[in-house]
Structure 1
Amino acid sequence: MEETKEIVKTDKFGDVTVFVAGDRKLRVFLTVHDIGQNHKSFHRFLLHEDMKAILSKFCIVQITVPGQEDEAETLPNDYKFPTMQEMGTEVIPQVLASLGCKTKDVVGLGVGAGANILCRYAMFSAYDVLGLCLLECSAESAGFLEWGQEKITSLQLNMKGMNPTSESYLIWHHYGNDLGKVTLQAKKDNPGEVRGFSDRLYSKFNHQNLARFVNCYMARTNFVDKLKTMKCRVLMVTGSRSAHVKDVERTYSAMDRQNSEILKLDGGDVMEDNPEKLAESMLFFLQGLGLVSSVRSKKMSRGTSLSGTDA
């Protein structure tokens, strides 16, 4: 996936880093990442064979939340970090307009905080968004326990840089299991994946900038009562070992059932643990929107080949 790095100057929030691949005359496939991640967290999944066929029909736009790039410089003390609402209603529309992309019939893929941001964008730009695939999405404000954990994480990131407490919280956030046992259990279940995630937290991320994004997510507002106003189709996805299953279920229960569906897959981080099933589900979801009708999944292609042999 050949991508170009673009720096978009926004009115209120300075430079926003965006990575673009594909013909800008095509519909936009938009990604927004979670806390402790940036656009690179999508790469392995987007390079999956089924996803490559899907994405050939789109212009891929991957937005990095300010300050979350690899080895980013520390944001100035007087920098006003955008709220979740401002990311959805101001940053995304300005980015897409600046890139000169086709902004009608946008399809979005977001994880965690990024999924929350995409929801806000879809409600603000109701007639521009055709469909969203939302992984581990909560439309609620942070509960007391989550707020406390995120507050500790943010404070320690600012005081100590990356540290075992913040690392454990972020691993729990992405890979699930009990918070007290998460680091050992997650490393046992997904040794290479979690080790790589931990290494990136320590070596690639600006910890002060990450603390600001964690604070932003911690301060998110509740929009559960507005979910039924969403006009686009939504595919909600959660993993069987995810820490956010209940949050996703509550968010889904508040949506218009005619425009939404929920998918539960094995794993904690479903893009890593179950990419083939997620890609196949996204293909069917997009085809239900009248898109990518010519694309067939690997499983469907094998079925065609076998039936042709039988004939």
Structure 2
Amino acid sequence: MEETKEVVKTDKFGDVTVYVSGDRKLRVFLTVHDIGQNHKSFHQFLLHEDMKAILSKFCIVQITVPGQEEGAETLPNDYKFPTMQEMGTEVIPQVLAALGCKSKDVVGLGVGAGANILCRYAMVSAYDVLGLCLLECSAESAGFLEWGQEKIASLQLNMKGMNPTSESYLIWHHYGNAKKDKLSEVRGYSDHLYSKFNHQNLARFVNRYMSRTNFMDKLKTMKCRVLMVTGSRSAHVKDVEKTYTAMDRQNSEILKLDGGDVMDDNPEKLAESMLFFLQGLGLVSSVRSKKMSRGTSLSGTDA
């Protein structure tokens, strides 16, 4: 996937790194990543055969949360790291405007913290967003157990850099109960955490996600269609299901796929589900899935 790196200067949060592919006159396919990740976490899934066919109809815009790109310099001590709300309501609109992309009819794909950010963007840009595919999304503030785990991970990252405690938390966050069956992938992710990330910047992102506000009571105000997705062995199944119950059922669907990290464990069914979801929005009608089964239902769950 050929992409152009762009650095957008925002009003309050400095430079934001963005990667753009495709014709900027097309609708935007917008991605926002999770903690302990950056835009590269989407690459393998977006290169899947059926996703490539879908994405040929879009301009792909991949936002990297400040300081999370590989080899990033440490953010200044006086830098005000954006909250989840500020990422959604201030950073994303400024980035799309600066890129000169068609800002209407945006489709979003977000994971974890990125899904939380995209929800907030959709709520303030109701008539710009057509649909969101949200993986492992929680609209609640962090519960006591999660808050404690994230607080420890953030403190340890600041004091020691990447360390076994923070590493274990991030592996649990991304792989859930599937981590024992994915030793090779987990080892690769662990190596990536130690060698590629600026740990102080990552600590600040984890801290902001830990401090996220609850917007469960606002979910019914979302105008766009939403596809909620979770893995059957994810650490966040209950959070996703609870968030879904607070949504407008006429505009939302939930899908449960095998695995922990569904983009990695079940890319074919996720891509197929996204194709059907987008076609339900009146998009990509000419795209046909060649290799996938045609029996996936978005109205229920797929264990």
Bucket of the pairwise TM-score, normalised by the shorter protein: over 0.9
Deviations 1:258-291 (A, max 9, x none): 0000000000000000000000000000000000
Residue aligned with 2:65, SS: coil
Q: Answer whether contact 1:142 1:218 (CA < 8 A) is retained.
A: yes
Residues 76 and 276 (structure 1 numbering): CA distance in 2 closer, same or farther, change over 3 Å? same
Q: Answer whether contact 1:138 1:251 (CA < 8 A) is retained.
A: yes
Deviations 1:8-45 (A, max 9, x none): 00000000000000000000000000000000000000
**Larger C-alpha radius of gyration, 1 or 2?**
1
Q: Answer whether contact 2:256 2:302 (CA < 8 A) is retained.
A: no
Query: Which residue does 1:181 correspond to in 2?
Result: none
Shift of 1:191: 2.3
Shift of 1:302: 10
Among all aligned residue pairs of Structure 1 and Structure 2, give the percentage whose two residues are the same amino acid.
93
Q: Answer whether contact 2:269 2:296 (CA < 8 A) is retained.
A: no
Structure 1 CA distance for aligned equivalents of residues 155 and 248 of structure 2: 38
Structure 1 CA distance for aligned equivalents of residues 296 and 76 of structure 2: 57
Q: Answer whether contact 1:265 1:274 (CA < 8 A) is retained.
A: yes
Residues 294 and 208 (structure 1 numbering): CA distance in 2 closer, same or farther, change over 3 Å? same
Residues 276 and 169 (structure 1 numbering): CA distance in 2 closer, same or farther, change over 3 Å? same
Shift of 1:204: 0.1
Structure 1 CA distance for aligned equivalents of residues 113 and 301 of structure 2: 47
TM-score scaled by length of structure 2: 0.96
Residues 234 and 307 (structure 1 numbering): CA distance in 2 closer, same or farther, change over 3 Å? closer
Residues 300 and 241 (structure 1 numbering): CA distance in 2 closer, same or farther, change over 3 Å? closer
Residue aligned with 1:307, SS: coil
Residues 303 and 250 (structure 1 numbering): CA distance in 2 closer, same or farther, change over 3 Å? closer
Deviations 1:182-213 (A, max 9, x none): xxxx5541122211111110000000000000
Deviations 1:152-172 (A, max 9, x none): 000000011000110000000
Q: Which runs of 5+ in 2 are unaligned?
A: none
Residues 98 and 266 (structure 1 numbering): CA distance in 2 closer, same or farther, change over 3 Å? same
1:252 maps to 2:244: yes
Structure 2 CA distance for aligned equivalents of residues 187 and 307 of structure 1: 28
User: What RMSD in Å do the two structures reach over aligned CA positions?
Assistant: 4.5
Structure 2 CA distance for aligned equivalents of residues 147 and 188 of structure 1: 24
Q: Answer whether contact 2:28 2:102 (CA < 8 A) is retained.
A: yes
How many residues of Structure 1 are paired with residues of Structure 2 in the alignment? Answer: 303
Q: Answer whether contact 1:26 1:57 (CA < 8 A) is retained.
A: yes
Structure 2 CA distance for aligned equivalents of residues 305 and 111 of structure 1: 21
Structure 2 CA distance for aligned equivalents of residues 224 and 310 of structure 1: 25
Q: Answer whether contact 1:23 1:58 (CA < 8 A) is retained.
A: yes
1:34 maps to 2:34: yes
Shift of 1:298: 2.1
Residues 238 and 77 (structure 1 numbering): CA distance in 2 closer, same or farther, change over 3 Å? same
Q: Which runs of 5+ in 1 are unaligned?
A: 178-185
Query: Which residue does 1:121 correspond to in 2?
Result: 121
Residues 247 and 308 (structure 1 numbering): CA distance in 2 closer, same or farther, change over 3 Å? closer
Shift of 1:77: 0.1
Q: Answer whether contact 1:187 1:195 (CA < 8 A) is retained.
A: no
